[in-house]
Structure 1
Amino acid sequence: MIIDSLTNIEFYEAINPDIYAGLVFIKNADPEIALGEYPLTEKAKAVVMEYETQIKNDFGYEAHRHVIDVQYCIKNQERIPWSNLKRLTPHTEYNEQKDATFYSMIEPQGEVVIGNDIFAVFFPEDAHAPVYCAKEPGYIKKIVIKVKV
């Protein structure tokens, strides 16, 4: 897992061009960008979504086998607890179509608050629990970069 500032995105150009393309998209995105999917590279796309954050989510942690998630809120903030998969017990079967397995919620190994220049990168071994409010429940607009691995 990576937690970093958008001011450091040039560092990622040499590490992974698909993650870098996603970070450039995030940095240049207008907060009024339309909801939906935006292709970026052969391996990466951006998904723009909005929803109401909550005190807790109803599904626990999620993890993906075939994508890296780069997550950033372009309107407001979201708190995302995270944990390594080895600590967790799945409560759903792997859904190949959605590339997701959901895991029971336990004490996280850490949390990140995304938005206000801070983004997070979740690798396949990084289970993450989105939808949590940073302070109070409320509206967020978020960009998730999906990078195929």
Structure 2
Amino acid sequence: MILGEVRSLPSTGLHPVLQEALTLALTARPQEKTPGRVELRGDDIFMNVMTFTTQFPAEKKAELHEQYIDIQLLLSGEERIQFGVMGSARQCETFHAEEDYQLCNEITDKQSVTLQPGMFAVFMPGEPHKPGCAIREPGEIKKVVVKVRASLLDA
């Protein structure tokens, strides 16, 4: 997991592909978009704009991906994301290859991070994460999840 802020993007030390993906997403002005998928570079880099009410962590499941890196960028509200290291997901359901996700009921030795608007968290394939968790009480948030094909980092 990598944590950063948009305002310091040039100095975050992110891989150039991840920095490009965030730059493409920000240039697309996600705060003005309605919820849905926005293609940035076809199926290699795209973003999902979403608005929803956060939930208590016990009401949510963690997610895993194999093919895509998730860049979770908060636009408004506040959100806690629970996460773990690779191999820490437990009680996992069937993997959905078409949508590149697997839901899991537990993360052993989980950690958490709190995002404020303008902050982002990067989750690599295999790193379980449970986004959209309430901090004190459920609240409305708007966020973007930038999906980056992991193989792009090998190029």
TM-score range, shorter chain: 0.7 to 0.9
Give SS of 1:129's match.
Answer: strand
Say whether 1:34 aligns with 2:34: yes
The more displaced of 54-63 and 116-125 is 54-63
For residue 113 of structure 2, what is the aligned residue in structure 1? 112
Within 5 A, what are the aligned runs for 1:89-108?
89-106=90-107, 108=109
For residue 7 of structure 1, what is the aligned residue in structure 2? 7
Distance 2:21 2:73 in 1: 10
**Contact persistence 1:63–1:100 (CA under 8 A):** yes
Structure 2-normalised TM-score?
A: 0.83
Identity in percent = 25
Within 5 A, what are the aligned runs for 1:1-149?
1-11=1-11, 15-17=15-17, 19-28=18-27, 29=29, 31-42=31-42, 43-56=44-57, 58-106=59-107, 108-149=109-150
Unaligned runs of 5+ in 1: none
What are the superposed Cα offsets for residues 90-115 of structure 1, whole Å, 9 maximum, x if unpaired? Answer: 43011112211112224553211223
**Contact persistence 1:66–1:124 (CA under 8 A):** yes
Displacement after TM superposition at 1:27 (Å): 4.0
**Contact persistence 2:51–2:140 (CA under 8 A):** yes
Query: How many residues are treated as equivalent by the alignment?
Result: 148
Give SS of 1:137's match.
Answer: coil
What are the superposed Cα offsets for residues 49-89 of structure 1, whole Å, 9 maximum, x if unpaired? Answer: 11110112544211100000000121111100001231222
Give SS of 2:70's match.
Answer: strand
Unaligned runs of 5+ in 2: 151-155
Give SS of 2:106's match.
Answer: coil
RMSD over aligned CA atoms reads 2.2
Letter in 2 for 1:36: G
